[in-house]
Structure 1
Amino acid sequence: MMKVSGCFGLMKRSRLGLLAVAVLVSLTLCRDDNTLQITVARERGSLPDGFFLYQLLEDRGIRVKSITPAKDSMIIHLDTPEQAQAAQLVLQSHLPEGYAILKSRRYSAWQWLYRPAADEERLG
C-alpha cells in the first residue's frame, strides 16, 4: 500500500473541507422559516410602509433583521421561527383587512439566489 502524503493528502483534506462547507451553506440556504411575506389581497391596494412595520414589531419585542420590498410584496426577515410566528400574529391583528401575511417559502435570507418559479413570467 502506498501512503498518501504531501500534495495528495492535502488535496484529499481540502475536498473534505469543501464538502463540509457546501453542506453547511446548503442547510443555511434552505432554512427560511424566519421569513414572512406580506402581499396585498385586493387588486389596487398598496403595501404597508416598511418603517411602520419595523416599529410595530420592534415595539413588541420582535427583533427584525430586515424588511425588503419585493415584486408586489414586503419581505420581513426575523431571527427565529418563533419570532416569525409572533410577528405574523401581531401583523394580522394590527394591519387592516386586505393583506395576506404568510411564512415565505419563495424568498430566503439569500435573495440573490432567488430563482423564479416555473409559472412566473420570464423576459426574453
Structure 2
Amino acid sequence: MLALLKPYLSVRVFSILIVSLAALMMVIFVPSLFRNETALQIRVSRQGTTLPDGFYVYQRLNAEGIPIKSITPDNNSLVIRFDTEEQSIAAEKVLHQMLPHGFDIGQIDPSGSSQLMNRLTLRKQSVG
C-alpha cells in the first residue's frame, strides 16, 4: 500500500513546491509593478556653482510640509525621491523658488531601466 502512495506523494509534493514558488515570486515582484515613486534631480548648470547640501534641501522641503523618501548624490547632482507625483511637483515649485539661478531642476525616471537603455544606445558601434 505504501508503494502505491509513493508516486502520489512525490507528485503532490512537487505540485505544492511549484505553487509555493509561484506565490513567493508574486509576493516579491508584484509590488514593484505598482510602484508610484517619482524623483527630482538637481544639477549645476553654471560653472563655479556648487550643489546645495542635501540636509539643507531636506530641511527646507520638510518645513514646507513635503515628505521626502530619500536624497542621494549621483554624478554631480542630487536625486530626491518622493512617494507620490504630487509631492514631487510641489517640491519642484519650492526648489525653483528656493535655489538661485544656476541650477537645473527636473523630473527623472527613478527606475534604472532608462539609464541602462541610454548606456546601450549611446555606445558607438564599430565594425572591425
**TM-score bin, normalised by smaller chain:** 0.7 to 0.9
Aligned to 1:16: 22
1:53 aligns with one of 57, 60, 63: 57
1:53–1:38 Cα change, 3 Å: same
How many residues in Structure 1 have an aligned counterpart in Structure 2?
112
SS, match of residue 69 in structure 2: strand
- Report if the CA contact (8 A) 2:37-2:83 is conserved: no
Amino-acid identity (%): 37
Q: Deviation per CA, 1:63-102, whole angstroms, max 9, x where unpaired?
A: 1122111111001112221111100010011110111111
**Distance in 2 between residues matched to 1:115 and 1:32, nearest whole Å:** 18
Q: Which of the pair has more CA radius of gyration?
A: 2
- Report if the CA contact (8 A) 2:37-2:84 is conserved: no
- Report if the CA contact (8 A) 2:92-2:106 is conserved: yes
* TM-score normalised per structure 1: 0.73
SS, match of residue 64 in structure 1: coil
Aligned to 1:117: 118
Shift of 1:32: 3.6
Q: Deviation per CA, 1:19-78, whole angstroms, max 9, x where unpaired?
A: 4235415415x6442x11111112332111111101110011001122111111001112
**Runs of 4+, deviation exceeding 4 Å:** none
- Report if the CA contact (8 A) 1:32-1:104 is conserved: no
Is the counterpart of residue 96 in structure 1 residue 79 in structure 2? no
Structure 2, unaligned runs of 5 or more = 1-7, 124-128
Select the structure that is richer in helix: 2
Pairwise CA RMSD of aligned residues? 2.8
**Distance in 1 between residues matched to 2:117 and 2:99, nearest whole Å:** 28
Which segment drifts farther, 74-83 or 6-15?
A: 6-15
Aligned to 1:7: 13
State the one-letter code of the partner of 1:60: E
**Distance in 1 between residues matched to 2:47 and 2:103, nearest whole Å:** 11
Structure 1, unaligned runs of 5 or more = none
1:27 aligns with one of 23, 29, 33: 33
SS, match of residue 47 in structure 2: coil
State the one-letter code of the partner of 2:12: G
